[in-house]
Amino acid sequence: MPAWLKDAVFYEIYPQSFYDTNADGIGDFQGIIEKLDYIKGLGCNALWINPCFDSPFKDAGYDVRDYMMAAPRYGTNEDLFRLFREAHARGIHVLLDLVPGHTSEEHKWFLKSGEAERNEYSDRYIWTDHWIKGIPGRPYIGGEFERNGVYMLNFFKCQPALNYGWKEPTEAWQQGIDDPGPRATREAIKEVMRFWLSHGCDGFRVDMAESLVKGDDDKRTGTCAVWRDLFSVKKEFPEAAFVAEWGHPELAITGAGFDMDFYLDHAGNGYNTLMRDYETAGGDHSYFLKDGGGDITRFLDDFLPRYEASKDHGFISFITCNHDTPRPSWTLSDRERKLAFAMIFTMPGVPFLYYGDEIGMRYCEELRTKEGGYTRTGSRTPMQWDESANKGFSTGRAEDLYLPVDSRENAPSVAAQEILKDSLLNTVREILALRHAEPGLQADTSFEVLHAIQGDPLFIYKRGDLTIAVNPSGEEKSSPAGILHGPGAEVLFRIGEASCKDDGAVCLGPQSFAILR
């Protein structure tokens, strides 16, 4: 596992919407370069850039047409290599977004695989052996090519599934994971990884990492085996880091060999109960919603087994949000978000901050779909830098922007929050500065629950020599005696009111958070 991950805090960039330097309405590599000092000053020392390879952009770049070519809308390969160099000069690592499960329907591999005559790409994708033989339980398309068969899709119509084999083939046209076709697919993806790693990329976030092998792979043993083979590239690039879009670290980290796995927003799981419990019936009972009546034990019942199963092998990655998830500002107030982010940035593992969350950008639910975004589109709007035209995102015409900027009069911006001491932006900066300064807040430092009782909103946990307490409710809360083993604790950081009693109890005011030593 790369040592640099222990102190890593990632900033996720949706490149279309980050910063436009050529006035075409779309963000670009130069825009990211020009904002690297802002990112560094925020306290983030690593980036995850959403797909930036050549694409028809029917799914915002997750339909890759050429894995080894940068999308011209963002710049050239050399521009991307320069971004790596500029980031490294500032101590920032860069992960690209790898989409190994499918390609665009316009990829040259797929076009060759659809030819009637067999060739080296015939088995690169999943095809049946007859034009009217479908794939039960799976989406597929027929009638598009001369080849006598139909092909499987992974997601949209434009995304044919690459062939990593079937766990237990039951049809003549299905191949096992170690048959020649799936082996060739793995080698092709290894070459993609080698190409970018050799030019300065520091690793990859991997899209849909858990779904490579088809068939009866419910326990993902086949997919884990495929990843262990793909990760042979780590021998050549030992400092490369890989984070999975999986949501099951006991499989992704312990089984497949990823360095990190996202704690994804799945309805009803532990992460979901913290900020997004509106996805289940019965109202919003999110833990950080002041009047939600949330329960931290719901989070811990899900998180702790995952943490214990993976902590010796890699890191769980909490997110503030991502490009697929409604922004937390949709349901949480500024104070509620401060508390949520404070906890996320002080938990074990490697956290990810989604661009714009540090200023409380809005989830613009009224927007129509853009490039396959649908309900996700509202979380992909342009970054709000200042109060100039287009919120400083672009000097181009408003009608040419990738997506419209938030038009509300009170829409937040970096410039406006820079000058407010207690702004969300400056609160995030202060927490992240402390995270980097304190060994107790590194990714692999021990984690111990000190106080978590069903029905009690007060949550207290220990990281190394630090005690951390959060009270999201609207009432003052105190812990039992002895949490701090005596009086006189030093308050390193707080939101709201925090004090320590002579008997070693911790007392937090309404909607408060504290880091104590």
CA distances 14 to 11, 249, 251, 345, Å, are 10, 24, 27, 21
The arithmetic mean of pLDDT across residues 267-293, rounded, is: 91
Residue 198 phi/psi, 5-degree rounding, is -70, -15
Place of tokens 């050429």: 66
pLDDT at residue 117, rounded to an integer: 98
**Does the domain formed by 103-161 have CATH 3.20.20?**
no
The arithmetic mean of pLDDT across residues 303-325, rounded, is: 98
499 vs 279, residue with greater confidence: 499
Judged on CB neighbours under 10 Å (0-12, 13-18, 19+), 11 is buried
Question: Is 392 a residue whose pLDDT tops 90?
Answer: yes
Q: What is this structure's pTM?
A: 0.97
Query: pLDDT band for position 485 (50/70/90)?
Result: confident
pLDDT at residue 492, rounded to an integer: 96
Per DSSP (E only), the strands in 253-348 are 260-262, 315-317
pLDDT at residue 407, rounded to an integer: 87
Question: Is 45 a residue whose pLDDT tops 90?
Answer: yes
Question: Is 125 a residue whose pLDDT tops 80?
Answer: yes
Query: pLDDT band for position 84 (50/70/90)?
Result: very high
Alpha helix (H) residue ranges in 206-312: 221-230, 249-252, 270-275, 296-310
141-153: per-residue pLDDT in tens? 999 999 999 999 9
Question: Is 486 a residue whose pLDDT tops 90?
Answer: no
Question: Is 291 a residue whose pLDDT tops 90?
Answer: yes
Look up the CATH superfamily of 446-516.
Golgi alpha-mannosidase II (2.60.40.1180)
Q: HSE-up of 227 (CA within 13 Å, CB side)? A: 28
pLDDT at residue 281, rounded to an integer: 73
Are domains 3-99+318-437 and 446-516 of this chain identical in fold?
no
Instruction: Transcribe 470-505 into DSSP letters.
Output: EE-SSS-EEPPTTTTSSS---EEEEES-EEE-TTS-
How far apart are alpha carbons 455 and 295 in whole angstroms? 6
Q: 31 Cβ partners below 8 Å, 6+ apart?
A: 15, 18, 19, 20, 21
| Cβ–Cβ < 8 Å for 182, 163 | yes
The arithmetic mean of pLDDT across residues 237-241, rounded, is: 98
Residues of the chain above pLDDT 90, percent: 96
CATH placement of domain 3-99+318-437? 3.20.20.80
Instruction: Transcribe 64-99 into DSSP letters.
Output: -SEEEEE-TTT--HHHHHHHHHHHHHTT-EEEEEE-
- Residues of the chain by 3-state class (helix, strand, coil), percent to 5: 30, 15, 55
DSSP 394: -
User: Hey, is 512 helix, strand or coil?
Assistant: strand
Query: pLDDT band for position 61 (50/70/90)?
Result: very high
Question: Is 365 a residue whose pLDDT tops 90?
Answer: yes
Q: Residue ranges per domain, the chain?
A: 3-99+318-437, 103-161, 172-257, 446-516
Mean pLDDT (the chain, rounded) = 97
User: Hey, is 436 helix, strand or coil?
Assistant: helix
Taking phi first (over 0 means left), then psi (-120 to 50 degrees means alpha), and beta for anything else, what does residue 511 get?
Answer: left
216 vs 66, residue with greater confidence: 66
The helix or strand, by DSSP H or E, that contains position 140, with its residue range, turns out to be: strand 140-141
